[in-house]
A and B are shown apart, each in its own frame.
Chain A
Amino acid sequence: MAGTSKRSRVPAHWLLIAVPAAVLLVFFVLPNALLLSASFLKSEAQQLTAVPTLENYRFLLTRPLYLEVFLRTFVIGLAVGAIDVALGYPLAYFLVRTRSRWKGLLIALSLAPLLASVVVRTYGWYIILNRFGIANDALLGLGMIDQRIAFMPSTGAIVIGLAHALLPYTVLTIMGSLNGINPNLESAAMSLGATRTRTFFNVVLPLSLPGIAGGFILVFSIAISAYATPAILGGPATQVAATAIYGFIMQLLDWSLGAALAVVLIVCSLTLLYAASRLGARRAVL
């Protein structure tokens, strides 16, 4: 009887992950499997047929327009990741080390952008960067330009908008990593004669590399799949992968090409993320 009773019980942790696993299976794995299958089907006159083909991939990988879209997407991802790490690290370092009584408030303020919708934040940049926006008015007023400049639509505008929108993610990730460093290690380094700068570069920075890598990977992966900011600041003529996928599926009603583009994006980003995470893990071990 005791044996029967034991067989009928399932460890609670398995049951706990069963529900999210089922949700992921139904709402992530299954749709992606359908997406993958659609990418190998032919579309004729905007209708999906049952004819298998590799034409969608050939089309996307041979047209300079789409190679440019991929290149732009990954350049944006890398640029946003690099900018956010460069801006987020000093901020995270300050927030972790400050002894100010306002520390809690400062942390809340630095994460405040997350409280506003990304669309609202992006329209803020639209107001600043458009030809009749604040940036042009200021430059004209200061006499630095004599003709209005079209800051947007452009890849640069997308990078600025995304870097601003995603900065809190790197700050949070790097703060977590810095918080985990034992302060005694820094005291030990300095007691052995190391300067503050040397202590930072030889002790703190290497130990916080997993946080940097994590923040970079997180921001990079969000940036390459972002839709709203590129759509607003890039417009229809400065496409990235997400806006191109949207265009194929929602505007041209060509699901085959949209699915193929989505698959290429997923494969490329997973490969890059795997490489980055391996690199981050190696650095962490070293």
Chain B
Amino acid sequence: MTTEQTLNNELDRREFIRRASAAAVVSLGAPYVWGQRTDETLVVNSFGGEYQELFEKNVIEPFEKKFGVKVIHDATGTSSQDYAKIRASKGAPGFDVAAALSPPEVILGAKEGLLEKITDKEVPNLKFTWEKARQTLPPVTVIHTLQFDSLLYNKDKVDRPASWADYWQPEKRYGTKVKGHVINYNPANLLSVYALIHAAELGGGGASNMDPAWALLKSQKPYVGAVVTTSAEAAPHFESGEVWLSPYWSARAGYYISRGIPYGMVVPKEGVIANIDSASVPIGAKNKKLAYEFINFMLEPATQRAWCQAYFCSPGRGDLTDWPKAFMDSQIVTKQQFDSVKLPDLDAIGANRKDWTLRWQEIMG
């Protein structure tokens, strides 16, 4: 090998380190140069699907207009997936507001110290939220939306169900024709957990004794035609008309019915369990000041009215009146209505959800 070839094939170590360092600095710094955020930018994480467009139109756009800021909407992930991101990043998931957390994740976030404490000082509208619901959650979140687990049925195919038993033992009410037309959900979705609790209660149990639920799940299995995890995954089964009976969140149910699917929504005689959607700020959020402003804005009366009527959900505060009658009749807007809805046993759910999921997988797998 000649000297010239040697020079061509070998790099001076210092030169190599210098060039590599320069390349590293450029590539690592690029996102900050090209994707630079300002104090006027806020990243909000919430659900996608049909929720995304409604949330952007009724909450995000009015907020941007009022405060003259830019909101980036991260519409990916379910509540547990969003919390998994918060945990994996040790509180700096890249979004400033986790706007669609459910109670189990909020409780975990408080235990792990990954969500900021929120008081009236940061979010003045906090004091107007449902007091009883607020007391069930640690002070790291703000309730903005209420829903409940209704029972959805295909009006063209089956009579109106009256009880959770009509879902869990469909053959008793409807015979074998319902075979393959019942949907079941993975307990990774809180909807499934609530439905299983109703099943346990039908057999004299409850969140502390789920044995009756497993017996009913086994007996229901031959009638199940679709198994999904998220509520959004169930939507195509309603659109095709293939699923005749399903527990479903009241807001989504109302939304789809309003779009013309031939389904009806029922509050079974045994009652329903409230689902609390709340917003939190991860400890590593970059724009906390604006994040608190956003959460406070979500609870403004005008925002609550627009959002709740667009999404068929109940407000996070109970002091608003003058709702349209049809809305009042189907939603939780008064204290009396709120008291008629069961609140979830969050301690039992948090402690047992993993075991319930594993049990569900063993039966449905």
| A interface, CB within 8 angstroms of B | 8-13, 15, 19, 45-47, 63-65, 68-69, 131-132, 148, 150, 153, 235-239, 247, 249-254
> Within B325-365, which residues are at the interface with A (CB < 8 Å)?
350-351, 353-354, 357-358, 361-362, 364-365
Question: Knowing that A8-B13, A247-B186, A249-B84 are A-B contacts, what are 10 other residue pairs whose CB atoms are under 8 Å apart, sorted by A's residue number?
Answer: A11-B9, A15-B16, A45-B111, A46-B350, A47-B111, A132-B240, A153-B227, A236-B227, A237-B186, A251-B80
Inter-chain contact A250/B108, CB cutoff 8 Å: no
Query: Given A65-B365, A131-B225, A237-B365, is A252 in contact with B353 using a C-beta cutoff of 8 Å?
Result: yes
In the complex, the answer to whether A47 meets B108 with C-beta atoms within 8 Å is yes
**A132 touches which of B83, B229, B242, B351 (Cβ 8 Å):** B242
Report whether A10 and B83 are in contact in the complex, using a CB–CB cutoff of 8 Å.
Answer: no
Given A11-B9, A131-B242, A236-B229, A253-B365 contact (CB < 8 Å): no
Beta-carbon contact of A252 and B188 below 8 Å: yes
Nearest residue in B to A19 (C-beta to C-beta)? B20
User: What are 26 contact pairs spanning A and B, CB under 8 A?
Assistant: A9-B11, A10-B10, A10-B11, A10-B13, A11-B10, A12-B11, A15-B13, A15-B16, A45-B351, A69-B365, A131-B180, A235-B228, A236-B229, A236-B361, A237-B364, A239-B361, A247-B357, A249-B84, A250-B80, A251-B78, A251-B81, A251-B229, A252-B80, A252-B354, A252-B357, A253-B83
Secondary structure type dominating chain B contacts = helix
Any A CB within 8 A of the CB of B112? yes
Min CB–CB distance B175 → chain A (angstroms): 16
B13 partner, pick from A9, A63, A250, beta carbons under 8 A: A9
Residue B322 lies at the interface, judged by CB distance under 8 Å to chain A: no
Nearest-CB residue, chain A, relative to B229? A236
Our pick among A8, A45, A236 for the contact of B188 (Cβ within 8 Å) is A236
Tell me, rounded to whole Å, the shortest Cβ–Cβ distance linking A57 to chain B.
16
A7: shortest Cβ distance to chain B, in Å? 10
Q: How far is the CA of A238 from the CA of B361 in the complex (A)?
A: 9
Bound CA span A217–B203, Å: 51
A153's nearest neighbour on chain B, judged by CB, is B227
Shortest C-beta distance, B225 to chain A (Å), equals 7
CB distance from B17 to the nearest CB of A (A): 9
Q: How far is the CA of A45 from the CA of B362 in the complex (A)?
A: 21
Count of residues in B whose CB is under 8 Å from the partner chain: 37
The docked-state distance in angstroms from the alpha carbon of A68 to that of B365 is 9
> A8's contact among B12, B225, B242, by CB below 8 Å, is which?
B12
Asked if B180 contacts A238 (CB within 8 A), the reply is no
Minimum CB distance partner of A251 in chain B: B188
Q: How far is the CA of A82 from the CA of B105 in the complex (A)?
A: 43
Is the C-beta of B87 less than 8 angstroms from some C-beta in chain A?
Answer: yes
A239 CA / B362 CA spacing, docked (Å)? 11
Residues of A within 8 A of B228 (CB): 235-236
Which 3 residue pairs of A and B lie closest in terms of their CB atoms, listed nearest first? Answer: A251-B188, A236-B186, A237-B227
Instruction: Give complex CA distance A158, B84 in Å.
Output: 27
With A12-B10, A47-B108 as known contacts, state yes or no: A250 contacts B81, CB within 8 Å.
yes
Question: Taking the nearest CB of chain A, how far is it from the CB of B326, in angstroms?
Answer: 33
The distance from the CB of A200 to the nearest CB of chain B, in whole angstroms, is 44
How far is it, in angstroms, between the C-alpha of A148 and the C-alpha of B180 when the chains are bound? 10
B24 → A minimal CB distance (Å)? 9
Closest to A252 in B: B354
Residues in chain A near residue B180, CB distance under 8 A? 131, 148, 150
A65 contacts which chain B residues (CB < 8 A)?
Answer: 358, 361-362, 365
* CB proximity of B179 to chain A, nearest CB, Å: 10
Neighbouring B residues of A131 by C-beta, 8 Å: 180, 225, 242
- List A contacts of B350 (CB < 8 A): 45-46
When C-beta atoms are compared, the residue in chain A nearest to B78 turns out to be: A251
Q: Is the CB of B84 within 8 A of A247?
A: no
A253 vs chain B, min Cβ distance (A) = 6
* A263 to B188 Cα, complex, angstroms: 23
Contact of B227 among A64, A235, A252 (CB under 8 A): A235
| Inter-chain contacts of B13 with A (CB < 8 A) | 8-10, 15
Known contacts being A131-B225, A132-B242, A235-B228, is A12 close to B9, with CB within 8 Å? Answer: yes
In the complex, which residues of chain A have a beta carbon less than 8 angstroms from the beta carbon of B362?
63-65
Query: Do B9 and A253 have beta carbons less than 8 Å apart?
Result: no
Point out the residues of chain B lying under 8 angstroms from A8, CB to CB. Answer: 12-14
CB nearest neighbor in A for B236: A130
A238, B365: Cβ atoms closer than 8 Å? yes
CA–CA, A12 and B20, complex, Å: 13
A150–B237 CA distance with the chains assembled, in angstroms = 13
- 8 Å CB interface, B160-213 against A: 180, 186, 188
Question: Considering the chains assembled together, what is the distance between the CA atoms of A150 and B111 in angstroms?
Answer: 43
A-chain residues with CB within 8 Å of residue B351 when the two chains form the complex: 45
Given contacts A237-B227, A239-B361, contact A9 B242 (CB under 8 A): no
CB distance from B101 to the nearest CB of A (A): 12
